[in-house]
Amino acid sequence: MVKMGVAHFSGSYSPVPSDTMYSSTLLSKSSIKTSPAFTLNNQVFQTHIPKPLNNNFHSSQPLTLKSLKVRAMDTQEGVPSMPSFDFHGIDQKLVDRMVYDSLVWSSLHGLVVGDKSVQRSGKVPGVGMVHAPFALLPMPFPETHWKLACEVAPIFNELVDRVSLDAKFLQDSLSRTKKADAFTSRLLDIHSKMLDINKKEEIRLGLHRSDYMLDEQTKSLLQIEMNTISSSFAGLSSLVSDLHRSLLDNYGKLLNLDSKRVPGNTAASQFADALAKAWTEYNNPRSTVMVVAQADERNMYDQHWLSSLLKERHNITSIRKTLAEIDAEGELQADGSLIVDGQAISVIYFRAGYTPTDYPSESEWRARLLMEQSSAVKCPSISYHLVGTKKIQQELAKPNVLERFVDNKEDIAKLRKCFAGLWSLDDSDIVNKAIERPELFVMKPQREGGGNNIYGNDVREALKALQKEGTEEDAAYILMQRIFPTVFSTFLLRDGICHKDDAISELGIYGAYLRNKERVIINEQCGYLMRTKVSSSDEGGVAAGFAVLDSLYLT
């Protein structure tokens, strides 16, 4: 168990709240107990929870030294050196000032979420607000890997588009999953219906986020997953980069850190621009963008930032509707256009609908089908959504599959470089290896929404149980190589309290893709999301659920 350093804020000591960022879920179908989910106000962290391999931080030492030391670690095999932010020498008064300033900054600049402890905070804006959890300082990250991640973003965008056009590949790849996972099955049904009516999506909008971890041992940037629906935190992560730059502008000299090494993050405005361009392509000046939202959404301000930028920068109005409301208020016109609550909808932006719990009744599925049948631009379409499943990710990682969708060999090499080991459970060799060495694997369910990954000995137990059952159940999972990122000590802020702890980070790169028939209008990388969480070796421990928004510091 890693010892935890708690930074004293305003002179008062507060222990880590034990339950607010932590939730444990059960797989409804298989009843296999999973490891805890990492939730940030309903948005779940998808990352692995490694055992810390590198614990340089000694929390038992007193905080007395006057300045922060940036120390270069050993390099190996030509990989650039990575400085470790050594916080055990940082002046506590300086930390207190930065904590106070950053909390004020968050409040004045809309870096906020709904507070779980306030009942209405997920429904009514403006009440029960609390600063979004964030890291006090950016996480060091090698510039070469950052550049690589940015570089592959447009290639991934295009890959998603190409794969989405191969309906047979999608249906075939997911055919076994369909039998084992009811949610994927319903999505595939809609996909089939669209094939039956020969539905064409001329304007195709993707707002993706590709998530990576930097593997400590291989020094390689490995993709965790590709999000093609409801890629969250574009709004808030842009603000965290601004916050960190502002803090380093004020305190950077004392810390020997340069604010210019925090990359600018225009994810929010670029996503808003992409939505606006899709609206323009649809070409109905009286139409509106519809945000499909969950009824209770504590991460609403992240979404409101996009709507606000859409209005301020492009004078385009957006409305928010739940799937149930769309079922009740939506109708298709004879020409295929969608009217919801009396308003013509040109662009449908999904911030709900990615997880089974978003479809508690047939009403929600009717709404999803209705939207898919319409001529509105869907972000994402059902086929884009399916491309984002773990199974497709795993299929694409197989030999010679990328070649079916990407022409350029250099591009293929770049993508493949990011692929972690991915296997289906019908590969008995790999299943046996995972039973033998479960610590090297993660077992992942198909579903988005995360938090259902299986780690450690649970992998062995789950695989054995599936072998015994001998059903199609195994098709609901894939196996993935477990990634062990570098551990850094950092300061994590939540609920006004600053905690010092060892942590690991996951980098998400946003990408926007817009195409109208053969004309590609946008294909670009759009800022980033850095998420950092406590790397407790005690996977079941309460501290493990503590994850925050972050930015990166190029090294």
Q: Does 120 bind its own copies (CB under 8 A)?
A: yes
Q: Does 145 bind its own copies (CB under 8 A)?
A: no
Among 75, 104, 256, 408, binds its own copies (CB under 8 A): 104
Is 449 one of the catalytic residues? yes
Mask: binding to its own copies, 200-239, rule CB under 8 A, as x and -? ----------------------------------------
Phi and psi at residue 240, to the nearest 5°? -65, -40
Q: Is 441 helix (H, G, I), strand (E, B) or coil?
A: strand
Is 368 one of the catalytic residues? no
Among 28, 61, 81, 107, binds its own copies (CB under 8 A): 107
Catalytic residue among 173, 232, 237, 265: 232
Among 2, 7, 37, 103, binds its own copies (CB under 8 A): 103
Contact yes or no for 302/239 (Cβ under 8 A): no
Compute CA 405 distance to the chain's CA centroid, rounded to the nearest angstrom.
24
Q: Does 464 bind its own copies (CB under 8 A)?
A: no
Amino acid (one-letter) located at 75 = T
Q: Does 311 bind its own copies (CB under 8 A)?
A: yes
Q: Does 75 bind its own copies (CB under 8 A)?
A: no
Contact yes or no for 528/509 (Cβ under 8 A): yes
Considering only 56-64, 118-126, 155-163, 405-413, which stretch makes contact with its own copies by CB under 8 A?
118-126
Name residues whose C-beta falls within 8 Å of residue 311's C-beta, 6 or more positions apart in sequence: 317, 318
Considering only 97-105, 206-214, 275-283, 359-367, which stretch makes contact with its own copies by CB under 8 A?
97-105
Q: Does 136 bind its own copies (CB under 8 A)?
A: no
Q: Does 106 bind its own copies (CB under 8 A)?
A: yes
Contact yes or no for 140/84 (Cβ under 8 A): yes
Among 166, 189, 495, 524, binds its own copies (CB under 8 A): 495
Is 162 one of the catalytic residues? no
Considering only 276-284, 305-313, 375-383, 471-479, which stretch makes contact with its own copies by CB under 8 A?
305-313
Vertex 470, ends 464 and 474: CA angle to 5°? 70
Q: Does 72 bind its own copies (CB under 8 A)?
A: no
Q: Does 260 bind its own copies (CB under 8 A)?
A: no
Rounded Cα distance, 197 and 220, in Å: 44
Is 531 one of the catalytic residues? yes
Is 416 one of the catalytic residues? no
Contact yes or no for 212/511 (Cβ under 8 A): no
Q: Which is nearer to its own copies, 83 or 496 (CB)?
A: 496
Considering only 22-30, 60-68, 99-107, 284-292, which stretch makes contact with its own copies by CB under 8 A?
99-107
- Strands across the sheet containing 37-40: 22-23, 37-40, 43-45
DSSP 175-243: HHHHHH-HHHHHHHHHHHHHHHTT----EEEEEEEEEEEEETTTTEEEEEEEE-S----HHHHHHHHHH
The overall longest dimension of the chain from CA atoms, in Å, is: 72
Rounded Cα distance, 160 and 204, in Å: 11
Q: Does 123 bind its own copies (CB under 8 A)?
A: yes
Q: Does 109 bind its own copies (CB under 8 A)?
A: yes
- Give which of 111, 124, 5 is closest to 62, Cα–Cα: 5
- Tokens representing 117? 């402890």
Considering only 306-314, 348-356, 394-402, 425-433, which stretch makes contact with its own copies by CB under 8 A?
306-314
Q: Does 266 bind its own copies (CB under 8 A)?
A: no
Catalytic residue among 325, 395, 448, 473: 448
Q: Does 122 bind its own copies (CB under 8 A)?
A: no
Catalytic residue among 116, 320, 390, 515: 390
Rounded Cα distance, 241 and 338, in Å: 37
Contact yes or no for 370/332 (Cβ under 8 A): yes
Residues lying near its own copies in the complex (CB under 8 A) are found at: 9-10, 100, 103-110, 112, 115, 120, 123-131, 250, 301, 304-305, 307-308, 311, 317, 495-496
Residues carrying an active site annotation = 209, 225, 227, 232, 390, 444, 448-449, 531
